[in-house]
Amino acid sequence: MGVLPWVWWYGFRRHTAYPLGSLTESLTNTMFGFMRAYVLLALWDVRPSLGGYEAVDAVTFCFITQALIGPVQIFGGMDLTERIRNGDVAIDLYRPVGLQGWWLADDLGRAAGSLVLRAGPPLLAGALVFPFRPPAPENLAAFTVATVLAVTVSFGLRYLVALGMFWLHDDRGLQAVTLVMSLFFSGMILPLVVFPGRLGTVAHALPWAAQIQVPADVFLGRYTGAGLLGALAFQAAWAAVLLAAGALVTRAARRKLVVHGG
Amino acid sequence: MADTVRMYGLLVWAWIRAAAQYPVSMVLLALATAVVTGLDVAAIVLLFSQAPRIAGFAAPEVLFLYGTSALAFGVSDILLGTTERLGYHVRQGTLDAMLVRPVSPLVQIATEEFSPRRFGKLVPAVLVLAYALANADVPWTPGRVAMVPVMVLSGTAIFGGLWVLTGAMQFVLIDSHGASKSVTYGGAFLTQYPMTMFARDFVRGVTFAVPLAFVNWQPALYVLDRPDPLGLPAAARFASPAVAVLVCALGAVAWRAGLRHYRSTGS
């Protein structure tokens, strides 16, 4: 346990080492936030209070998604993949801490760095230019918890994809499939409240909803009391399931791994 | 010029043969690229599942914008998309190696790791454009019919010029790649939607500063017979080819200037 806070810290340091690069990325996130906000406003102009959102909620939602792109790494990928490909993972498996715990700590560090550098600009710009629903203090506290859980769910999914490397030797196929799922079912492309009927119900229950839709709804104050606890429990449940699956696959991978070379 | 094109073709062929060593992977990745690109269509379909008209436009008209934009962007991305990696080559020092080879560095960067998977981007674009052309409520005249290929070609050239222009900026601002994506990928997203959705000043910006409105919006106003929300003269609807030439010239000048002033990062 003692080493994991350091792994977190070095992950954080590594991902805050190039602030200029992160700033330019967040500039693009902000631009996309603007364009998507206009598109959503046009829809809400025709359908006010669609899915229980006011126009101001839709716009705020849109900028939250842009702020969360970096932290929950919606486009997927993890450094572990490359280490499995080139065999460095053997070193990771030597370590006196578990593979999954090590990479979770590293990923939480990365997410924290990304949150610090990339979340601010889109939220700030959105709040200045568009009608914006700032969160109440208690919602902000809940949002912090929801974001940590969202990153954990995202890690759980990406870790499973990365471990697929042990069997497939190439992660691009899996990567592409999960990219489609995570972009579409997280609320990244459109808020899930726009999805009609059954599709919307299913989308709300899938783990990808825990990455963006749920934290955004917490930010907007759509949950109170027991509902809020339920939303966080939904995220925590998916995180637990995915981490447990990850632990099982790690065990199997340990038996599977053959390190080539001398 | 002919020599450049021949060289481009040769290098592309070499990379395609390399990718074809893993045929299953190549086909699957092309399919996956098609699906990811198609997500934007899914978004448009979902939007119109909630309202028959948005910002004064119906689904087939927006899909027409999507088709022309995605086709133009897809082709330009296949031809020149990898120029966005210039900053990476400058940092790694691999640009120096390109400079000593007897082929234009632009051709080398543009063909680098040329992957057939990117052809997958054209699949949703072509399908949607075909659907939109069949279903959009357009009083077709010879002029309107002719405008469709003209706008796709001009749009491709405008995006191509923007790829090179934003790539060339990385000679100076090595870290600017993150931001230039808002012009290239951002432009591709923006032009999928009617400009009536966006604020006036925003539309002015993408008409006069970064001329994305000429990729498909202005010519589409002619094809769909719509008034211009900015009230520009009718000639603007036919200006796309001229704008394309201008953007490409600007890209070429910027690229040459960047290359001339390039000093290696040294060792």
**Residue A262 confidence (pLDDT):** 44
- pLDDT of the residue at A261: 53
Specify whether the CB–CB gap between A100 and A251 falls below 8 A: no
A177: contact with B, CB 8 A cutoff: yes
Neighbouring CB atoms inside 10 A of A138's CB total 11
Identify the residue among A29, A31, A114 best suited for mutation to test binding to B, counting B beta carbons within 10 A and taking the highest: A31
Q: Which two tokens stand for residue B109?
A: 């960067």
What's the ipTM? 0.89
B178 inside 8 A of chain A by CB? yes
Inter-residue contact B166 to B87 (CB < 8 Å): no
pLDDT score of A211 = 94
In a domain, B38, yes or no: yes
Distance CA A116, CA A133 (A): 21
Give residue A177's pLDDT.
Answer: 83
- Overall number of domains in chain B: 1
Q: In this structure, is residue B191 part of a structural domain? A: yes
Residue B112 domain flag? yes
Residues A208, A213, A214, A215: is their CA dihedral positive or negative?
positive
Asked whether B215 and B69 are in contact (CB, 8 A), the reply is yes
* Range(s) of the domain holding residue B254: 2-261
Pairwise CB contact (< 8 Å): B50 & A196: yes
Residue B68 lies in a domain: yes
Of A18, A47, A176, the CB nearest to B29: A176
Minimum distance, in Å, between the CA of residue B142 and any CA atom of chain A: 33
* Tokens linked to B169: 């900026």
Closest chain A C-alpha to B198 CA, distance in angstroms: 6
- Model confidence, pTM: 0.89
In Å, how far is A141's CA from the nearest CA of chain B?
31
A-B CB pairs within 8 A amount to 99
Of the residues B48, B69, B197, B204, the best mutation for testing chain A's interface (the one with the most A CB atoms within 10 Å of its CB) is B197
Q: Tell me the average confidence (pLDDT) per consecutive run of 10 residues in chain B, 267 residues long.
A: 88 90 82 89 91 90 94 94 89 88 90 87 94 89 92 95 92 83 91 91 89 93 90 90 95 94 75
The predicted structure's pLDDT at residue A260: 59
* B266 assigned to some structural domain: no
B164 found inside a domain:
yes
- CB-nearest to A43 from B39, B54, B199 is B54
Q: At what angle do helices B23-50 and B59-80 cross, to 10 degrees?
A: 150
Are A210 and A234 within 8 A, CB to CB? Answer: yes
pLDDT at residue number B267: 53
Q: What is the pLDDT of residues A198-248, one digit of tens each?
A: 999 999 999 999 999 999 999 998 888 899 999 999 999 999 999 999 999
- Block means of pLDDT (10 residues each) for chain A, 262 residues, are 88 88 89 92 90 91 93 89 85 88 94 91 92 88 94 95 84 82 90 89 93 94 90 95 94 77 48
C-alpha B112/C-alpha B134 separation (Å) is 37
* pLDDT value of residue B214: 93
Residue B195 lies in a domain: yes
pLDDT at B122: 93
Instruction: Give a yes or no: residue B267 inside a domain.
Output: no
CA-CA distances (angstroms) from residue A196 to A169, A192, A262, B52, B195? Answer: 38, 9, 57, 14, 26
If one counts every other C-beta atom within 10 angstroms of the C-beta of residue A12, the result is 20
pLDDT for res A259: 62
